[in-house]
Structure 1
Amino acid sequence: MTKETIKTADAKLTVYLNGPNWEGVQAATFGDFSCKSPEAGAQVVDAGIELVRNAGIDRVIGPMSGDTWHNYRFVSYSDGSTPFLMEPTNKTHEPEVFWSAGFSEISRYFSARVELEDTDKVAPPESDGFEVEAWDGNDPEGLFRQVFALSAQAFSKNAFYKPISESEFLAMYLPVVPMMKRELILFARRHDGNLAGFLFGIPNYAEGPTPSSAILKTYASLEPGAGRHLAHKFHKAAAEMGCKTAIHALIHDDNKSADRSAAEGATIFRRYSLLGRKLNG
């Protein structure tokens, strides 16, 4: 990945020239951004735009550290609650630097919370196509190889999707294995043994060693209905672990899981924006 970091005493920005496509056109991304003041931020963003122009690229997405597998999105609304584990964070003045530089919103996301006692107590109708099971705790590398293969297939049509290698994926996720609870790692498996879907949940250790909330971090399915079954099993397992609240994390506004979260009665507590600018537009 071609990248260059622009750094001053009061600001930092990494420009990734080999970013994902935006509306079918290759884009660069601005990631790893921080600044002590809007003025300092504007200095590195302007320098980044000049670097992108000189590379012959006319679209920039940010904040995004190269692709959607890594950190991306600004917090655009918050109820003031403490960030949860692995949630994007930023200083309140940092998004304004991008807006002032001519960026606009190109994608929206949210996180919501629901009291587990309020989630659906009745299991979805049984499916003949798959069965949901928890990870047995063995072979974490094999686990994430399966997750990678299904993720690459399930997410490939998402906006701003850019493929990465299996080795890159494993390097990101294997370090979190010590924090994982196998009860919250769920698979929907077809009768031939192939995966129809998965759900990756994790206790919200940002609250401390005995958290009262669990995060529904990521799920994907290739089979209709698998997502609902996985979410139901996750809520039940989290409650049995002693958690009181589930966090439905980082959901795209237009995703089917957004409708499911709303149907569960979850309340939005954070919103996020991904911004973009067409330099010649």
Structure 2
Amino acid sequence: MSENELRRERGVLAAEPPPGWAAVREAAGSPAEDRPPEGTRTLMAFCGAEAVARLGMGVRSGFAGAPGVTGFVGWYEAADGEAGAELLRQAAADLFGSGAERVVGPLNGSTWARYRLALSREVGIGDGAPFLSEPVNPPKYAEHFEAAGYRPHLEYESRIVRDPRPDPGLIPAAARLADRGVGIGGIDMQRYEEEIRSIHDLSLLAFARNPYYTPIGFAEFSAMYTAIRPLVDPALIRLARDAEGRLLGYVFAYSDPLARGRRIVLKTLASHPAARGLGLGALLTDAVHRVAAERGQPVIHALMHLANLSENISRRSESAHFRSYRLYAAERP
């Protein structure tokens, strides 16, 4: 597509997305998405009257590990790669003009929302099919970002334990924690909101150093967990508490509805900073593996940053690579 065929339109998202916003996603073959909040700056590309690429963007301070102002591009879809790359270049220029020190993407405003690109999907059959909460996008989107001058920034992966089993090597760690008065139990569904409040409070501490993390309030956090309550299986949510009942760690897993419940997704593993190094994360993971072993189901360890402790725990479990993901960044010229 030549430059004179391409028309760009800037906007600010109102109550309804601009004309053609959803059509780009459908033309690109991407699944349903989370919608940008009202007020998000938008950029769209048209070839004639047809929308062929689109994105949302913004700037914010306070991302963990990213001093100063960071620009982000998200909600990216493109039916035409050249048009998509042109939009990504223009978005970076606009955001640098708004004071950004760097531009990262795809990131839908926050790491609590969809972010990262899923890379090649050669294993998209059988138990390699996408799982609930996994980023799903056409594989060529990575080429769009790189053509626009963005470079690989952070790497992530999911791994799969095809034959989960209890780990006898964790018996000493379990004994040490028991001596400290730490016990692991299930979530109390009769006190669901109170349990979620404790999980929220711990999450703010556990994830505070994760790249590009920003805290969210309890109301927003609670809404997320209320929406997924139908998926909650108390056997797959394990909470570790000390002798005074304070939450020290948790694991959140669920039977994947996209696989008709034939596999388990371990989505979140968190421990209090003061409790790290005690083997708590490995024991919580092992608790999920024990349930999976009883059910004869594989476990996916989902969306781990390659430098995260959960990656080490996963590899201890004889896991195999499932899929890779990447966050891109463009630096100020």
**After TM superposition, is the score higher than 0.5?**
yes
Match of 1:174 in 2: 226
When residues 118 and 189 of structure 1 are mapped into structure 2, their CA distance, relative to the original with a 3 A threshold, is: closer
Give the secondary-structure state (helix, strand or coil) at the position aligned to 1:197.
strand
* SS in structure 2 at match of 1:17: strand
Residue type at the aligned position of 1:140:
Y
Cα distance, 1:118 vs structure 2: 4.6
Match of 1:110 in 2: 157
| Cα displacement (A) at 1:140 | 2.3
User: Is residue 271 from structure 1 mapped to residue 324 from structure 2 by the alignment?
Assistant: yes
1:230 and 2:284 aligned: yes
Q: TM-score, normalised by structure 1?
A: 0.92
Deviation for aligned residue 1:22: 5.0
SS in 1 for 2:189: coil
Greater radius of gyration (CA): 2
* Whole-angstrom distance in 1 between the partners of 2:42 and 2:160: 36
**Separation in structure 1 between the aligned mates of residue 64 and residue 280 of structure 2, nearest angstrom:** 29
Q: Equivalents in 2 of 1:16, 1:238: separation in Å?
A: 41
Matched residue type, 2:262: S
Structure 1 pair 140–6 and aligned structure 2 pair: CA distance change class (3 A)? farther
Asked whether 1:13 is paired with 2:58, we answer no
The C-alpha deviation readout for 1:219-275, integer Å capped at 9, x for no partner, is 1112122111111111112333x2420111111111111111111100011011111
Shift of 1:24: 2.0
Q: How does 1:48-87 map to 2 (within 5 A)?
A: 48-78=91-121, 79-80=123-124, 81-87=128-134
CA contact (8 A) 1:16 1:65 kept: no
* Secondary structure at the counterpart of residue 156 of structure 2: strand
Aligned residue type for 1:234 = V
- Alignment of 1:197 with 2:241, yes or no, is no
Identity of aligned residues (%): 31
Partner of 1:162: 214
Sort the Cα spacing of 1:243 and 1:34 in 2 relative to 1 into closer, same or farther, 3 A: farther
For normalisation by structure 2, the TM-score amounts to 0.78
Partner amino acid, structure 2, of 1:64:
L
RMSD (CA atoms): 1.8
Q: CA deviation at 1:121?
A: 5.3
2-structure distance, mates of 1:119, 1:74? 33
Q: Which residue of 1 aligns with 2:71?
A: 28
Match of 2:4 in 1: none
Pair 1:239-2:293 in alignment:
yes
Relative to structure 1, the CA distance from residue 135 to residue 116 in structure 2 (aligned partners, 3 Å threshold; closer, same or farther) is: farther
Q: Specify which structure has the bigger relative contact order, considering alpha-carbon pairs within 8 angstroms and separated by 6 or more residues.
A: 1
For 1:243 and 1:6, the matched residues in 2 are separated by: 47
Per-residue deviation, 1:3? 2.7
Cα distance in structure 2, aligned partners of 1:84 and 1:135: 23
Give the corresponding residue for 2:86: 43
Cα 1:123–1:136, aligned 2, differ >3 Å: closer, same or farther?
farther
Q: Which residue of 2 aligns with 1:218?
A: 268
